Amino acid sequence: MIRQLEADAVVVGGGTSGCYFAWRLGQAGLRAIVLEKRRLADVGQETDIFHMDEVRFPEFGLPPPAGEELIGYYPTGLAWSPDLLVQNEVRYPFYVMHKPAFHQRFFRYVERENGQILERAEVVWPLIENGYLAGVRALHEGAPLEVRGRIVVDASGIDGTLRTKLPADIGVETDPIREADTLYVCLEFRDELPPGTPSGLNFYPFHKAFWNPSRGKGAILGIGWPGGYDEAWQRHRAWREEYYGDPGRVLKRTQGRTPYRRSPYSLVGNGLMLMGDAAFQTKPFSGEGVTSSFTACQIAAEVAIAALQLGDVSREALWPYNVRYFRGQGAKFASMFVQLPAAAELQRREVDFLFHQGVIFSGEDFRQMNLDYETKMSARDTVAMAAKLAWGVASGRFSAGSFKRLLGVSSAAAKVKAHYQRYPEDPAEFDAWVHEAKRLWGERTA
């Protein structure tokens, strides 16, 4: 006989998203079982060190990091122009943290609220009954296990292990992530760095690279690039060698993938919710996803709690998660996905020009981007920016083509954002909304 377990919610994936959701449910007196395919001690080890914005801790009800979680605190960072002549100070504090310790904190939170986390429990198949997700089949330490729940959550990371196994009529897109929609993140940990190399948080937007603090006087030299690990490591090396040669000693290299695409148009089905990397909720400008996923998990938990308490976990009952997510953070992220490719195509001399003029890449622009996921510009700022760009074109430092492209994407992004802000409250209007969304994204609508 197959071993069976039951809870209010079954969560696939014990990363930060799944645990945050389970913790919130537990606080409301509901019980979640989290299934994690790895050993809990291994979760987060591959990334080792990560960054989290200070401002998000109180926002998500989390005490700030301390003890072995805390590696450093940096109130400001620097954004570098490609010619390295401009370093814009970004006043936006980040913690540098030990990721495995942060995960351990979440495992404790879940268990403290009566939740259960099963390690080495790999979900292999969804259980669907009468058109509802009813649970999952898993292998727990190699033995078959069936876990039933009134809501099933896919928080399994970029590959969406549950979502991609669902039938199309469940109401969410089930296609696996494509290589073209993936950022390959390569991290090189170095120490014994010579004098003159950067310290603190440093970001190189043209190269999509960063030089961030590690333990002691060490640094992490990183990059996030599309097209595969080979391409990303080549770009990493070219950037490092051009600016810093081969500084100090390499301690280790690690790599991982992060999604770089719009979220599925719907995040819910009957008894189903998607969140975190499994729902592509990473920040489009950096690939970071821990706190932007918390925004979604927080909404999802509030909606799930209400649905479970009412005893209705239908797609309609879970729909407010879609509405609240896509009208807020989702609309801003969608807008960024329209604008960023144009910024990424700018030539090096054009990015230098913008840095020197304080346009798009100013310290305040980066602060607002991190804080609000958009930059606010008054009509006067917009006119001043257009004038600077026009002057750049006239003086040959900015191409007319790029100027036109930036104007074009800015208007396209505004339309996409407005459309997401009109995400339908009534699921019956969803198909028409998707039809228009596909037109705006340039996707086939057949």
Ligand X SMILES: Cc1cc2nc3c(=O)[nH]c(=O)nc-3n(C[C@H](O)[C@H](O)[C@H](O)COP(=O)(O)OP(=O)(O)OC[C@H]3O[C@@H](n4cnc5c(N)ncnc54)[C@H](O)[C@@H]3O)c2cc1C
CA nearest to 346, candidates 268, 418, 394, 404? 404
Q: How far is the CB of 238 from ligand X (least distance, A)?
A: 19
For ligand X, the closer CB: 36 or 113: 36
Q: How far is the CB of 186 from ligand X (least distance, A)?
A: 8
Distance from C-alpha of 148 to C-alpha of 323, rounded to nearest angstrom: 27
Q: How far is the CB of 130 from ligand X (least distance, A)?
A: 24
37 binds ligand X (CB under 6 A): yes
| Binding residues among 235-274 for ligand X as defined by CB under 6 A | 256-258
CA nearest to 33, candidates 85, 108, 103, 110? 110
Residue 328 near residue 422 (C-beta atoms within 8 A): no
Helix, strand, coil percentages, rounded to 5, for the chain: 40, 25, 35
For ligand X, the closer CB: 290 or 304: 290
Residue found by looking up tokens 């969304």 in the block = 437
Q: How many residues lie near ligand X (CB under 6 A)?
A: 35
Residue 281 near residue 160 (C-beta atoms within 8 A): no
Q: How far is the CB of 388 from ligand X (least distance, A)?
A: 32
69 binds ligand X (CB under 6 A): no
17 binds ligand X (CB under 6 A): yes
Q: How far is the CB of 161 from ligand X (least distance, A)?
A: 4
Residue 400 near residue 358 (C-beta atoms within 8 A): no
Sign of CA dihedral 149, 109, 297, 343: negative
Site for ligand X (CB under 6 A): which residue of 14, 26, 115, 284? 14
| Binding residues among 90-149 for ligand X as defined by CB under 6 A | 122-123
In order of 38, 116, 131, the CA distances from 150 in angstroms are: 24, 16, 13
Q: How far is the CB of 325 from ligand X (least distance, A)?
A: 14
For the chain, what is the total number of helices (H) and then of strands (E)?
12, 18
| Helices within 262-362 (DSSP H only) | 290-310, 315-327, 329-344, 348-357
Q: How far is the CB of 200 from ligand X (least distance, A)?
A: 15
The contacts of residue 355 (CB under 8 Å, 6+ apart) are 79, 81, 82, 86, 88, 361
Site for ligand X (CB under 6 A): which residue of 146, 188, 277, 365? 277
Distance from C-alpha of 189 to C-alpha of 338, rounded to nearest angstrom: 33
155 binds ligand X (CB under 6 A): yes
Distance of CA 126 to the CA centre of its chain: 25
Site for ligand X (CB under 6 A): which residue of 7, 8, 11, 18? 18
Site for ligand X (CB under 6 A): which residue of 15, 100, 126, 149? 15
Choose one: 30-38, 77-85, 165-173, 383-391; the region binding ligand X (CB under 6 A): 30-38
12 binds ligand X (CB under 6 A): yes
289 binds ligand X (CB under 6 A): yes
In order of 74, 76, 130, 364, the CA distances from 92 in angstroms are: 8, 5, 49, 9
82 binds ligand X (CB under 6 A): no
The residue type found at 258 is T
Q: How far is the CB of 436 from ligand X (least distance, A)?
A: 28
Sketch the per residue contact string, 183 through 212, with ligand X: x for CB under 6 A, - otherwise.
--x-x-------------------------
320 binds ligand X (CB under 6 A): no
Q: How far is the CB of 289 from ligand X (least distance, A)?
A: 2
User: What residues make contact with ligand X under the rule CB under 6 A?
Assistant: 12-18, 35-38, 43, 47, 50-51, 122-123, 155-157, 161, 185, 187, 256-258, 276-278, 282, 288-291, 293
